[in-house]
Structure 1
Amino acid sequence: MKARSRLSFARLSRTLPFGLLALGAACGSPPAAQAPCPTGPEPSATAGATPEQGPATPAEADAFVAQVNQDLKKLWTDAERAAWVKANFITHDTEEIESQEQEAVMEYTARKIRESQRFADVQGLSPDTARMLYLLKYSAGLPAPSDPAKRKRLAEIATQMESMYGKGQYCSPKLKGKGEDKNSECLSLEELSKIIGKSRDWDLLLEVWKGWRTVSPPMRPMYQEFVQLGNEGAREIGFNDMSEIWKGGYDMSAEDFEKEMDRLWTEVKPLYDRLHCYVRARLRKQYGADKIGVKAPIPAHVLGNMWAQEWTTLYPMMEPYKGHGQVNLTPELVKKKYTPIKMVKLGEGFFTSLGMPPLPKTFWERSLFEKPKDRDVVCHASAWDVNMSGDLRIKMCIEITHEDLVTIHHELGHDYYFEYYKDQPPLFQAGANDGFHEGIGDTLALSVTPSYLKKIGLLDKVSEDPKADLNLLMNRALEGIAFLPFGKLVDEWRWRVFSGRVKPNDYNKAWWELREKYQGVAPPVARSEQDFDPGAKYHVASNVPYTRYFIARILQYQFHRALCRASGYEGPLYKCSIYGNKAAGQKMIAMLKLGASKPWPEALRAISGETKMDATAIIDYYKPLIDWLDDQNKGEQCGWD
């Protein structure tokens, strides 16, 4: 699958990319007479209360959060419209306007967090007010320094890094004719990624892998300054550094959150290790023992993905039983003349089958479904509610592939989450935690089963062949299981950078140490501190928190198991599809409507009856594959040195 979606800006900051904002009609001023951008709505009398006014009261806290909700809805909506235009029209002007919008949001959020500290010890707060104050405290994922010049600089850096990534390309005579323009030797990320996914030429893969990583070194000094300014802002609102904010807001302490992530990783690591062992053995047969060591980390450029985070494009090489079942629908989609719109309609039909409403007319009028030929856009798939009141959209350069069909289901999961909590106050318009938002989209992808595909006419028959089942599970594991360590390590690297545990002169070294530790992968050529390989990943360049995706993969299977039980299904978990089941739909809706209004264990209870994240559902789902891998790996030296 593609790298996971970017949620729209009008969410709590802990759920969005802090570098993506754009047009707001230049803060409402005509271009020829642009006035300075405001720093956000002026505080009301109650919202700006100071300690000199006497002890704070619950009534003042209620008034404070009411005003903040009102102000944030306007700020976030303006920023969301700006972000939409910037993502669809990458120009110097939209970058500048984006920076202004981002600066306004950062300033207001930081100011209100400081003001909210007045209510920290107030007794008798209503549950809703107390929760809104808690969420506000952790909402500044990119906290702005109070110094206007530093705040402006932070916004500029965030915008510039995202734009550098979005416009990135690699030019080499070795690549001439390998992109869409057969006369060009310059390829975009999408074109380079296609080569990584399809080619098995060691040297070509190496050229492409190295080439994309020429985009990120210019970001390195910018990122160092970005961290310094963000940490300064964090200290101004009571945190030691940004890592404390990023690990907070999960209804537990930062320390407990780290322990929880380690617990979940420990539960799934044995399954990942089995898959890694099997994949490495197959790659050794392909490339030879001189290139793929018996007990060595796997070179990162041969795993079929630019970041080695998902390995589905290697499926033909990894397929357990050739010719059994059909796990790739791309030929069928092409044969049946599917278009991007038709693929999205198919995804919408899944949600309406659960008892959810059709997407609004404006969704079809305002979304971006195909890559324009006349301009640069951010093709990274994303879901949006531009006005926080149901202006749903997706932005995606859809291709007629199985992969994009699954991604569409994922993005629509975000949009339906937006739809169901749109009546909540703005501070509650977010997932129960940020992993929930990603997890819902991923959950629906597990219901894209052969039985579902037969019902919608994309398969003629459903095979009862156990070998076909293993092929399906392998295909799913190359995406879902292969991703888990990467999902954990990206933010672990950033937490260490933010806290100062990793110094700027060790950025790249620390990155590859974590990649080897968790993934068992290594760079195919020597890397140095002249490189900035973390910045070659969208979520680092755009400052999007990443642990949410690790949490989402855990919740994905836990949600799926719960919804299958609610539907009355009793067979193997990997064969279950909740398509058409209203009982499962009602369970999902009960959770979606809560937004962030309740601690995440309560939202988890609404859908599953459980209050603890549980990785055993993953083990249940892949049990036949686990047994098969154990047999296949006999005689292999699993693990890596």
Structure 2
Amino acid sequence: MQFLREYDREASGMCYRVTISQWKFVTNITDYNRRRMLDELTISSKFERLSWRKAAAYDASRLPDPQGRRQLMKVVQASRAALPDDKFEEIHQLITEMKEIYNTAKICPYGQKPYDPHIPKMPSNQDFMSNQYKLTNQPYQHYRPQQENTEYPNYCDMQLDPEISRILAHSRIESELLYVWKNYREQTGPKLKNRFMRYVQLANQAAVTTGFRDAGDQMRAAYEDPSFRTSAEEVYNQVAPLYKQLFTYVRRRLVQRYGETTVRSDGPIPAHLLGNMWAQNWKSIMDLVMPFPQSPNIDVTAEMLRQGFTPLRMFQIAEDFYTSLGLKPVPPEFWRGSMLVRPSQRSVQCTASAWDFCNRIDYRTNDPYEESMNFLMSMALEKVAYLPFAFMVDQWRWSIFEDGVENMNNRWWQMKLRYQGVIPPVPRSESDFDPGSKYHVISDQEYVKYFLATILEFQIYEHLCIASGHTGHLHECDFYRSRDAGRLLSEIMQPGSSKPASEIIRTMTKGKTNKISPDSLVRCVLLLLRTTMLFC
């Protein structure tokens, strides 16, 4: 079909130009780069609207080619171009404004405002990382060197990354954790709430005009599964028991550290104690929950620092792993264009991300048993702990699209309690907007894909292990230098989004199933579950 061929070529070029402008902005936040980015977004919006009108004029059911029908439906269904011109521009402007508010949020240091010379400065990154496992009861003054703070004489320039995230990960002072948790939300939610409510209205209007029940229904259409919501719920229900066991074990250790006045032994966990702004990744509290703390530390950070590892070297080692499987090395554009460390002389967005520039070239971004248990615990704190959060974000978002914005903050915490078993450490109200502290919520990025990706990660891992000839415990598999594993990985990655996920899963499993399954994840952590039962 001529239209689809032209669209593919033109959309790729448009995507490249927009992504370049966005990349320049987030890696150097200036008014000039912001204007350039907005100019490109305006051009892209006009192209999107024109393409949507052309695609909507076709009757997809009459196309003889199933692939062409699928592509045409995706052009129509994924767009909000059905909105009138003014509202189409408005929703994009709202999303841009919400991103900027999020990216520029700053808070003051803990315990002093603006500056207390009696509290020591935060150690340098290297000193801090070298001593990150030494717990301290002494608060630090978290700010960058004075010469970098001429624009912020009050030193209230702590951003989510790295300063606030570092405190949540490494401080064990409950009052400090509470301070940064609460103050960051005060600098984001209230400023975002009204914009988000208007965004919900416009997103729903676009979805209904395009033929969907609401914007959540439109988001789910991308998964090409009429029963997607039920299917995702079934997968979650299979992994929920794993999370509950991990939760029970971690809660017991937190009670030991902070006492029952802070953490009830039979209740939910206050959200600020889990090492992460959203309680989604608990790996940073490994020092508090390690099953065998006397065994050698499985975290290699200190040794990497001792050997002088740099971010560049870490990326090179990662590349070596993939090339050992027979995959292609990353293109030169990756090394030339990526921002591997945060620059000190300009404002940037440091949320970790990998960028596809749409041109197919540019992609930027001593007891063995006891050691195994510590390794599995570390993995569970990162992966299993993440699953309820990754699942509930869009459960909440879809409910807002379906039922309206009333009591949306209360509904957020109801779902946090239901799925994660966590509660806010201080009272919350509808004047707060705590979902706004999560970038993906305010930037119009669906989130359930991360839940599915985590499940699929283990499913792919097990099949690569099978291809490599591994036998034994799944968590001990290493397919480094296995060309057979590399061939399978290449085979399932090569189609990209040109095929539905179900077809790719069927290829990977050699026809045994076309569904995402958590069985591999369960097998991987089964040994850990048996061990932690002894501690609960």
- TM-score, structure 2 as length reference: 0.89
Q: Which residue of 2 aligns with 1:549?
A: 450
Q: Which residue of 2 aligns with 1:137?
A: 76
Alpha-carbon contact 1:99-1:155 (below 8 Å) kept: no
Structure 1 residues 124, 281: CA separation in 2 closer, same or farther (over 3 Å shift)?
same
Structure 1 residues 239, 291: CA separation in 2 closer, same or farther (over 3 Å shift)?
same
Q: CA RMSD in A?
A: 1.8
CA shift, 1:107, in A, is 4.3
Q: Which residue of 1 aligns with 2:178?
A: 206
Report the Cα distance in structure 2 between the residues aligned to 1:285 and 1:328, rounded to whole angstroms.
23
User: Does 1:342 find its partner at 2:313?
Assistant: yes
Matching residue within 53, 58, 64 for 1:125: 64
Report the Cα distance in structure 2 between the residues aligned to 1:89 and 1:243, rounded to whole angstroms.
33
Q: Which residue of 1 aligns with 2:509?
A: 608
Q: Which residue of 2 aligns with 1:24?
A: none
Alpha-carbon contact 1:587-1:606 (below 8 Å) kept: no
CA shift, 1:506, in A, is 1.1
Matching residue within 323, 335, 343 for 1:364: 335
Q: Give 1:40-439 correspondences, 5 Å limit.
A: 62-120=1-59, 122-123=61-62, 125-140=64-79, 143-144=80-81, 146-172=83-109, 174=111, 176=115, 177=121, 178-181=141-144, 184-189=155-160, 190-216=162-188, 217-253=190-226, 256-394=227-365
Q: Which residue of 2 aligns with 1:423?
A: none
CA deviations on 1:413-435 (whole Å, 9 max, x unpaired) are xxxxxxxxxxxxxxxxxxxxxxx
Query: Which amino acid in structure 1 is aligned with residue 449 of structure 2?
Result: R
Alpha-carbon contact 1:250-1:257 (below 8 Å) kept: yes
Structure 2: any 5+ residue segments left out of the alignment?
Answer: 116-120, 122-140, 147-154
Structure 1: any 5+ residue segments left out of the alignment?
Answer: 1-61, 395-462, 634-641
Report the Cα distance in structure 2 between the residues aligned to 1:149 and 1:100, rounded to whole angstroms.
16
Q: Which residue of 2 aligns with 1:487?
A: 390
Query: Which amino acid in structure 2 is aligned with residue 206 of structure 1?
Result: L
Secondary structure of 2:107's match?
A: strand
CA shift, 1:374, in A, is 1.3
CA shift, 1:469, in A, is 0.7
Secondary structure of 1:357's match?
A: coil
Alpha-carbon contact 2:295-2:367 (below 8 Å) kept: no
Report the Cα distance in structure 2 between the residues aligned to 1:485 and 1:588, rounded to whole angstroms.
27
CA shift, 1:571, in A, is 1.1
Q: Which residue of 1 aligns with 2:416?
A: 515
Secondary structure of 1:186's match?
A: coil
Matching residue within 521, 528, 535 for 1:625: 528
Count of aligned residue pairs for this structure pair: 498
Q: Which residue of 2 aligns with 1:581?
A: 482
CA deviations on 1:535-583 (whole Å, 9 max, x unpaired) are 1111112222110100011101100110000000011000112111110
Alpha-carbon contact 2:60-2:73 (below 8 Å) kept: no
Report the Cα distance in structure 2 between the residues aligned to 1:383 and 1:276, rounded to whole angstroms.
30
Alpha-carbon contact 2:60-2:69 (below 8 Å) kept: no
Q: Which residue of 1 aligns with 2:128?
A: none
Query: Which amino acid in structure 1 is aligned with residue 159 of structure 2?
Result: S
Report the Cα distance in structure 2 between the residues aligned to 1:322 and 1:471, rounded to whole angstroms.
8
Query: Which amino acid in structure 1 is aligned with residue 389 of structure 2?
Result: F
CA shift, 1:252, in A, is 0.9
Alpha-carbon contact 1:304-1:312 (below 8 Å) kept: yes
Structure 1 residues 109, 239: CA separation in 2 closer, same or farther (over 3 Å shift)?
farther
Alpha-carbon contact 2:354-2:364 (below 8 Å) kept: yes
Report the Cα distance in structure 1 between the residues aligned to 2:39 and 2:92, rounded to whole angstroms.
7
Which range moves more in the overlay, 184-193 or 290-299? Answer: 184-193
Q: Which residue of 1 aligns with 2:465?
A: 564
Report the Cα distance in structure 1 between the residues aligned to 2:145 and 2:340, rounded to whole angstroms.
24
Alpha-carbon contact 2:474-2:524 (below 8 Å) kept: yes
Secondary structure of 2:508's match?
A: helix
Alpha-carbon contact 1:90-1:163 (below 8 Å) kept: no
Secondary structure of 2:407's match?
A: helix
CA shift, 1:95, in A, is 2.9
Moved over 6 A (4+): none
Alpha-carbon contact 1:161-1:542 (below 8 Å) kept: yes
Q: Which residue of 1 aligns with 2:131?
A: none
Query: Which amino acid in structure 2 is aligned with residue 208 of structure 1?
Result: V
Secondary structure of 1:382's match?
A: coil
Report the Cα distance in structure 1 between the residues aligned to 2:225 and 2:54, rounded to whole angstroms.
23
Q: Which residue of 2 aligns with 1:37?
A: none
CA shift, 1:199, in A, is 1.0
CA shift, 1:226, in A, is 1.4
CA deviations on 1:141-192 (whole Å, 9 max, x unpaired) are xx24543222222222111111111111102562554224266343111201
